[in-house]
Structure 1
Amino acid sequence: MNDRMMKAVLFDRYGGPEVLYVGRVPRPEPAPGEVLVKVRAFSVNGGELAARAGRLRLVSGRTFPKRVGLDFTGEVAALGGGVTRPAVGERVWGVLGRTSGFGSAAEYVTVPAERVGRVPDGLDLVDAAALPVATTAVTALRDKAGLRPGERLLVRGAAGGVGNAAVQLGQAYGAEVTALARAANLDFVRGLGAHQAVDHRSVRPADLGRFDVVLDTAGTDLETFRRLLNPRGRMVTIAFDLKRPVASLGYLAASTVHGRGRVRFFSGNPTQDHLDDLARYVREGKLRPAVHTVFPLEETAAAHRALEAGGVRGKYVVRVA
């Protein structure tokens, strides 16, 4: 077998999960400032589902084959020029940056050295793959919203990858956490530390009361949930409505100057500092991985299909080797 090649999950056209397949591509070499990581596991994220389906084709274009995979855990296999840390063999995790696109669904990936962090000792690399996107919850609650002890926090999509981390961190930050999730997942989010768990299909948002911070992971009905803010409330969303992208992004922009409470929108782009914070929360027992199901690399399409079906508790993780 040619050791200059590696397995990777690819697709040659936009479409459903069935377009994904495991092919062989050249193994990357780390450029100066980069590390080569032997990937052990990655998780499936909503953004890559949208990209695979062609909802972001105005950005991603029509050059194929394309790749999937946003986050990863693994071991450092080689160092690019000028890199001294992390060391070869060190267990690391990370999230590919905005300019890198997708591609962690593979046996190897190259990443700038400043975009990987050390995985806490004792944490299995497959379980750990559920956590890198939790940096988004850290940024949303701590840095964007400035969540304070005693405040009321509403987490929309509380059982998902970012949502379950937000519930755990909200409780750790001393907030009173209300979690919106499917009825089947209410016990799950209570177990994460939610003070109230509410079936999002059986309640009107207006009946939930007022909140100091709203964290949205869906990107729809933003105006409705914005109305739940207290006078000094803050709302953060990590998504926009992919069915109405222009209108949704327009509303986000308009919220900065109209009405009560700006809606802060951002996409996760963690650095080593964010990943080090994540590791500290894990060591302190404030955050734990929530893995719904582990799939082998050859069944990545099944993992995409499961996430699209809804009802996930935590993360769908794919084991590479």
Structure 2
Amino acid sequence: MNDRMMKAVLYDRYGGPEVLYVGRVPRPEPAPGEVLVKVRAFSVNGGELTVRSGRLRLLSGRTFPQRVGLDFTGEVAEPGAGVTRFAPGDRVWGVLGRTSGFGSAAEYVSVPATRVGRLPDGIDPVDAAALPVATAAITALRDKAGLRPGERLLVRGAAGGVGNAAVQLGRAYGAEVTALARATGLDFVRGLGAHRAIDHRTVRAADLDRFDVVLDTAGTDLRAYRRRLAPGGRMVTLAFDPKRPAASFGYLAASTVHGRGRVRFFSGNPGQADFDDLARHVVEGKLRPAVDTVFPLEETAAAHRALEAGGVRGKYVVRVG
């Protein structure tokens, strides 16, 4: 077998999960400043589902095959020229950068060393694959919103990948945490530390209390939830409405007229310092991985289908090899 080839999850047209298949592509070589990582696991994220469906084809183009997979855990197989921080065999986790697109759903991935951090000792790499996207929750709460002890935090999509991390971190930062999730996820988010857990399908935004910080992972009804901010409140969203992306972007741009009350949007683009913070939170017990189900690589389509169906508690993780 040609060891310069590898398995990867691909699709040749936009559509539902059924378009995904495991094919063979050339194994990447690490460029200067990059590390080649032998992937052990990755998780399924909402953004890649939106791209795979074709809703963002104006941005993602029509060149196929395309790839999936945003985050990963594994071991360094080969450091590129100039990389001294990592050596072969080092256990790592990471997230592909904005310019890299998707592609971690594969046996190997080559990524800038600045996008990789050391995996804490004692954590299984498959479980750990649920956590790289938690860097987005850290950035959202600590940097974008400036969450302070004693403040009231509302987390939308609290049972999901970023949401469950936000619940845990909000509690660790000393906030009073209210979690919105499906009814089947309410006990789950309470177990993560939420002071209150509410079924999002039985309550309107207008019926909720006022909050100092709103962290949104849904991207819908942004105007209604911004109105739940207390004076001086801050709202951060990590998503846009996948069915109406143009309207979401338009509202986010228009919300700047509200000054401090605007809706802050960002897409995760973590670096080494963020992964160092993530590792510290794990070691200190402030954050633990929440894995709903583990799928083999050949069933990546089933993992996509499960996430689209809703009701996830934590992350759907795919084991490689």
TM class by shorter-chain length? over 0.9
Structure 2: give runs of 5+ residues left out of the alignment: none
The 5 A counterparts of 1:157-306 are 157-258=157-258, 261-306=261-306
Counterpart in the other structure of 2:7: 7
Give the whole-Å Cα distance in 1 for the aligned partners of 2:243 and 2:293.
28
AA aligned to 1:283 is V
Give the whole-Å Cα distance in 2 for the aligned partners of 1:148 and 1:198.
23
Give the whole-Å Cα distance in 2 for the aligned partners of 1:25 and 1:246.
34
The 5 A counterparts of 1:37-48 are 37-48=37-48
Structure 1 window deviating more from structure 2 (238-247 vs 300-309): it is: 238-247
Counterpart in the other structure of 2:129: 129
Give 4+ residue runs of structure 1 displaced > 3 Å after superposition.
Answer: none
Counterpart in the other structure of 1:149: 149
Q: Secondary structure at the match of 1:282?
A: helix
Q: Secondary structure at the match of 2:261?
A: coil
Give the whole-Å Cα distance in 1 for the aligned partners of 2:19 and 2:246.
27
Q: Secondary structure at the match of 2:256?
A: coil
Q: Secondary structure at the match of 1:110?
A: strand
The Cα of 1:6 is off from its aligned counterpart by: 0.2
Structure 1 window deviating more from structure 2 (256-265 vs 63-72): it is: 256-265
The Cα of 1:208 is off from its aligned counterpart by: 1.5
Give the whole-Å Cα distance in 2 for the aligned partners of 1:73 and 1:156.
27
AA aligned to 2:32 is P
Counterpart in the other structure of 1:87: 87
The Cα of 1:242 is off from its aligned counterpart by: 2.2
Matched-pair contact (CA < 8 Å) for 2:116–2:272: yes
The 5 A counterparts of 1:29-44 are 29-44=29-44
Give the whole-Å Cα distance in 2 for the aligned partners of 1:185 and 1:130.
17
Give the whole-Å Cα distance in 1 for the aligned partners of 2:31 and 2:223.
45
AA aligned to 2:7 is K
Matched-pair contact (CA < 8 Å) for 2:40–2:72: yes
The Cα of 1:258 is off from its aligned counterpart by: 3.8
Q: Secondary structure at the match of 2:257?
A: coil
Matched-pair contact (CA < 8 Å) for 1:231–1:260: no
The Cα of 1:79 is off from its aligned counterpart by: 1.0
Counterpart in the other structure of 1:53: 53
Give the whole-Å Cα distance in 2 for the aligned partners of 1:127 and 1:242.
28
AA aligned to 1:75 is E
> TM-score w.r.t. structure 1 length?
0.99
Deviations 1:263-308 (A, max 9, x none): 0000000001001100000000000000000000000000000000
The Cα of 1:206 is off from its aligned counterpart by: 1.8
Give the whole-Å Cα distance in 1 for the aligned partners of 2:259 and 2:277.
34
AA aligned to 2:178 is T
Matched-pair contact (CA < 8 Å) for 2:9–2:23: yes
Matched-pair contact (CA < 8 Å) for 2:218–2:241: yes
Counterpart in the other structure of 1:77: 77
AA aligned to 2:277 is D
AA aligned to 1:237 is T
Give the whole-Å Cα distance in 1 for the aligned partners of 2:246 and 2:303.
29
Counterpart in the other structure of 1:313: 313
The Cα of 1:259 is off from its aligned counterpart by: 7.6
Structure 1: give runs of 5+ residues left out of the alignment: none
Give the whole-Å Cα distance in 2 for the aligned partners of 1:259 and 1:165.
27
The Cα of 1:88 is off from its aligned counterpart by: 1.0
> TM-score w.r.t. structure 2 length?
0.99
Q: Secondary structure at the match of 1:231?
A: strand
Quote the sequence identity (%).
86
The Cα of 1:139 is off from its aligned counterpart by: 0.4
Matched-pair contact (CA < 8 Å) for 2:234–2:260: no
Matched-pair contact (CA < 8 Å) for 1:31–1:81: yes
Q: Secondary structure at the match of 2:247?
A: helix
AA aligned to 1:314 is G
Give the whole-Å Cα distance in 2 for the aligned partners of 1:130 and 1:201.
26
Aligned-pair Cα RMSD in Å: 0.8
Matched-pair contact (CA < 8 Å) for 1:179–1:194: yes
Matched-pair contact (CA < 8 Å) for 2:252–2:264: yes
Give the whole-Å Cα distance in 1 for the aligned partners of 2:182 and 2:193.
16
Give the whole-Å Cα distance in 1 for the aligned partners of 2:39 and 2:139.
25
Aligned pairs, how many? 321
Closer/same/farther in 2, CA of residues 35 and 231 from structure 1, 3 Å limit: same
